[in-house]
Amino acid sequence: MECCRNLEQIDIDPNKNKIVLVGNPNVGKSIFFNYLTDTYVSVSNYPGTTLDISSGNYKDNIVLDTPGVYGVSSFNDEEKVARDIILSADIVINVVDAVHLERDLFLTQQLIDMGKKVIVALNMMDEAKKRGLNIDIEKLEKELGIKVVPTVAPKKKGFSDLENHIDKAQKGQISLEQDMEKELNNINKSVGNRADSLLILEGDENVAALHNMEPKENREKVYMQRRNRVNDIVEEIITKEETNNSIGDKIGSLLLRPLTGIPILFLILYLLYQFIGVFVAQTLVGITEEMIMIEIYQPFIIDLVSRFIAPQSLIGKILIGEFGVLTMTVTYIFGLLLPLVAGFYFFLSLLEDSGYMPRIAALVDRGLTYLGLNGRAIIPMLLGFGCVTMATVTTRLLGSKREKIIAIFLLGLAIPCSAQLGVIAGLIAPLGFKYFVIYVITIFLVYAIAGTFLNKVLPGESTDLLIDLPPVRVPEIKNIFKKTYLKSKYFIVEAGPIFAGGAVGITLLKEGGILEWIQNVVAPFIVGWLKLPKETTEAFIMGIIRRDFGAAGLNSLALTNDQTLVALIVITLFVPCIAAMLVMIKEQGIKQAAMVWLGSWIAAFTVGGIVALFI
Amino acid sequence: MECTTDGKRICPTCNNEIKDPDLMKCPRCNSLLILKCSECKKCSFFKKN
């Protein structure tokens, strides 16, 4: 019973000691993991990025990283995973944020109460010093009864000291008062494991079930005893000096005030447009798509394949035809979409690692309450501009089911992903400012009306925004490039097969005459209502597979300025891609996912038709 | 839609359920607690209790 609830999912040598990294969200655990194992894990400034379990070797030990948690319990999936790994740990390295000791020491004390051998890495000591917090490390060690090593993770300060003391991790001072300690000992008589017994005492149903016991109802009592103990410790060990605000604090304050924060936000969005829409979508893609893929790669691959397969055969058309897997798909993915996606993730990583994202959340909080959301929803919304699939997963951050429904619907309806956004920016920029403004206003209105409508019809109201504001800091460029690389790689792996499958499907539809039949059937609608050429149907069919695929399909059509605008509005509001739909089904169930899908069809073609009528 | 929260107060930061109506901070994560539950406009935790 000592170990292994979820751990069988990871390939771990059972003979090795398990060193487990534990800490609250956003305390820098991943940097310690990278240092000890020399393996990269994503590092971000907003809570909740280390969602997977990472493991690696350190000397003769296994090091396991855990999702950030506030305590050991079973309130959600991340906590359950963290709990099981912690229960299996031989040694716990508890990474603690020196700036938020009152918050973080609760987990430390709980680990000690579990009877685990713990060593504390007291991280962000530089930030604490900047804020005038003097922490008496010796007194803290004495109060907790364990070794505390001050560290500054980005500079690897204190890391070698931490390494020297890992083997000396020890059991510390228990916080439970006599009544609860007695109750714990009673449970332990039948369980035989202090850590499990404590969680049963705290009402953990899963751990109780493992021991065929009923969970006890002492959570609040134990938590209060622990909280009181932590507050006493913090009061004992911290003294605060008056400090002048640092440059980071001053910038952080400017970013939060509406008078300065909103113009800065618009400036950032403008820079994003210039970077993605102008530099990447036009200059860079001009080189990768036109010069490299169309002028060099395509003639080469067509010539190569033609030597073995007749171009006019079905296989030839599937491989190197108009929608060929080796021609169009490869060109779209590597020549067009990859530079756009990488460019977007580069910019987004800069915003994440500088600590700007939570400040945008605070800034837009009031506006988002009109849509039934709070400022926290800006995180999935901004991530949606990278990848709607990934953003749908992060709606878990939101406070209520109601907010998740609204956010997922808005993501599916009106947020174009980076690949799609890049193509859209590339197509709309040459049309001129007027078309750009009409496009932005239309999409914004649809977004606002849909959110306001859902806010009215769904019972309840938005929750209050309570979010940690990390310090404003200069991002580490190495980390930015690594994040961009990993996310771009994920895009290729995720989108590549779907693109290829979609391209084969379109070729087969075309060769079987079905594509033409569909075009003729929907022609009155496409031509009559949207005022677009019937060939646009091909792009829309491609858009069912992935919206960016559809948007890319518009690239090769000869459209007037008005037609381009209508087609772009329709494809922006179009149904979410297959991957995003699968995640929506997983998160919200098939009924709500189907409603989003149907709602997107209706919204896309209704709005597209209305715009076509008036321009 | 009926309220299904049974008047429970859940910490918005760490999901800890708070039973003591007088607590203004979550004992687990030390976050400030909101005064009403997240799902329903009408039912205040304090009114229900």
- DSSP for A400-460 reads SHHHHHHHHHHHHHH---HHHHHHHHHHHGGG-HHHHHHHHHHHHHHHHHHHHHHHHHSSS
pLDDT score of B44: 43
For A71, which of B12, B14, B38 is closest by C-beta distance? B14
Give me A512's structure tokens: 């079987």
One-character DSSP codes across A501-517: HHHHHHHHHHHTTHHHH
Nearest to A405 by CA among A465, A460, A466: A460
Distance from the A513 Cα atom to the nearest Cα atom in chain B, whole angstroms? 49
**Average pLDDT for A306-314:** 92
Phi, psi values for residue A95, rounded to 5°:
-85, 125
DSSP code for A296: I
- Interacting residues of B6 by C-beta distance below 8 A, sequence separation 6+: none
pLDDT of A470-511, one tens digit each? Answer: 778 888 888 788 888 888 887 788 778 887 888 898 889 888
Q: What is the pLDDT of residue A46?
A: 32
Question: How sure is the predictor about A45, in pLDDT bands with cuts at 50, 70 and 90?
Answer: very low
Closest CA to A241 of A165, A131, A127, A383: A131
Contact at CB, B12 and A220, closer than 8 angstroms: no
Q: How far apart are CA A450 and CA A439, in angstroms?
A: 17
For residue A202, give the nearest of B8, B27, B46 by alpha carbon. B27
Q: Sort A562 into a burial class: Cβ within 10 Å, 0-12 / 13-18 / 19+.
A: middle
For the cut 60, the answer to whether the pLDDT of residue B41 exceeds it is: no
Hey, are the CB atoms on A70 and B28 less than 8 Å from each other?
A: yes
| CA A245 – CA A260 distance, rounded (Å) | 18
In order, the DSSP letters of A467-526 are ---PPP-PPPHHHHHHHHHHHHHHHHHHHHHHHHHHHHHHHHHHHTTHHHHHHHHHHIII
CB A423 within 8 A of CB A332: no
Give the best residue of B1, B38, B44 to mutate against chain A (max A CB count within 10 A).
Answer: B38
pLDDT at residue A32 is higher than 80: yes
Distance from CA of A13 to the nearest CA of B (A): 33
Cα-atom radius of gyration of chain A, to the nearest Å? 28
- The complex scores an ipTM of 0.76
pLDDT of residue A348: 83
Per-residue pLDDT at A108: 97
Q: Amino acid letter at A507?
A: T
φ and ψ of A313, to 5 deg: -75, 165
Non-local CB neighbours of A177 within 8 Å, separated by 6+ positions? A225
* pLDDT for residue A101: 95
Give the confidence band of A86 by pLDDT, cuts at 50, 70, 90: very high
Residue B20 to residue A220, Cβ atoms within 8 A: yes
Distance from CA of B43 to the nearest CA of A (A): 10
The pLDDT assigned to A10 comes to: 55
Q: Are B10 and A428 in contact (CB under 8 A)?
A: no
The DSSP result for A171-209, as a single string, is -------HHHHHHHHHHHHHH--HHHHHHHHTT-HHHHH
Chain B residues in contact with A220 by the CB 8 A cut-off are 18-20, 27
Higher pLDDT: A41 or A316? It is A316
Quick count: other Cβ atoms within 10 Å of Cβ A506?
22
Average pLDDT, integer, range B1-17: 65
B34/A402 touch (CB, cutoff 8 Å), yes or no: no
Lowest mean pLDDT among A21-35, A46-60, A388-402, A582-596: A46-60
For residue A154, CA distances in Å to A35, A52, A66, A476, A549 come to 10, 22, 19, 9, 39
Which of A76, A102, A466 lies closest to B12 in CB terms? Answer: A466
Q: Give A201's pLDDT tier (boundaries 50, 70, 90).
A: very high
Percentage of chain A modeled with pLDDT above 90: 39
Least confident of A46-60, A170-184, A357-371: A46-60
Per-position DSSP letters for A117-133, written without gaps between them = -EEEEEE-HHHHHHTTE
Can you tell me the distance from the alpha carbon of A564 to that of A571, in angstroms, rounded to the nearest whole number?
10
Whether residues A399 and B14 touch (CB distance < 8 A) is answered with: no
Q: What angle do CA A137, A140, A144 make, to 5 degrees?
A: 145
Which residues of chain B lie closer than 8 angstroms to A406, CB-CB?
none
Q: What share of chain B is helix, strand, coil (3-state, %, to 5)?
A: 10, 15, 75
Per-residue pLDDT at B47: 42
User: What is the mean predicted confidence (pLDDT) over A365-384?
Assistant: 85
Residue A216: C-alpha distances to residues A4, A194, A204, A221 (Å):
23, 15, 8, 11
For position A39, what pLDDT does the model report?
54
Find, in chain A, the residue whose alpha carbon is nearest to that of B18: A220
Neighbours of A591 (CB within 10 A): 8
Residue A373, pLDDT > 60, answer yes
Tens-place pLDDT, residues A322-363: 888 999 889 888 988 888 888 888 988 888 888 888 888 888
Contact (CB<8Å) A402/B39: yes
Q: What is the pLDDT of residue A26?
A: 80
Q: Which residue has the higher pLDDT, A509 or A169?
A: A169
Other CB atoms within 10 Å distance of the CB of residue B9: 25
Question: Does residue B3 register a pLDDT over 70?
Answer: no
Mutation target vs A (from B28, B31, B34, B37; most A CBs, 10 A cutoff):
B28
What mean pLDDT do residues A249-253 have?
85
Contact B27 A75 (CB under 8 A): no
Q: Is A141 exposed, middle or buried (0-12, 13-18, 19+ CB in 10 A)?
A: middle
Among chain B residues, the shortest Cα distance to A456 is held by: B41
Percent of chain B exceeding pLDDT 70 equals 49
Residue A267 — φ and ψ, nearest 5°? -65, -45
Find the mean pLDDT for residues A8-31. 81
Is residue A108 helix, strand or coil? helix
SS3 content of chain A, % helix, strand, coil (to 5): 65, 5, 25
Contact assessment for residue A596 and residue A576, using Cβ atoms and an 8 Å cutoff: yes
User: Is the pLDDT assigned to residue A145 strictly greater than 60?
Assistant: yes
pLDDT of residue B1: 34
CA A265, CA A242: separation in Å to the nearest integer?
Answer: 31
A520 pLDDT exceeds 80?
A: yes
Å between A75 CA and nearest CA of chain B: 6
Question: In sequence order, which residues have a C-beta less than 8 Å from that of residue A290 and are 6 or more positions away?
Answer: none
Beta strands in A17-171 (DSSP E): 17-23, 54-58, 61-65, 91-97, 118-123, 133-135, 148-150
A8: confidence class by pLDDT, cuts 50, 70, 90: low
Suggest the residue from A103, A374, A398 to mutate for an interface test with chain B (most B CBs closer than 10 A): A103
User: How many angstroms separate the CA atoms of A140 and A104, rounded?
Assistant: 13
C-beta atoms of A71 and B13 within 8 A? no
Give mean pLDDT, residues A568-587: 82
What pLDDT was estimated at residue A44?
37
Closest CA to A105 of B29, B4, B48: B29
Q: What is the pTM of this model?
A: 0.65
Q: Residue A73's closest chain B neighbor by CA?
A: B16
Average pLDDT over residues A260-287: 85
Q: How far is A453 from chain B (nearest CA, A)?
A: 17
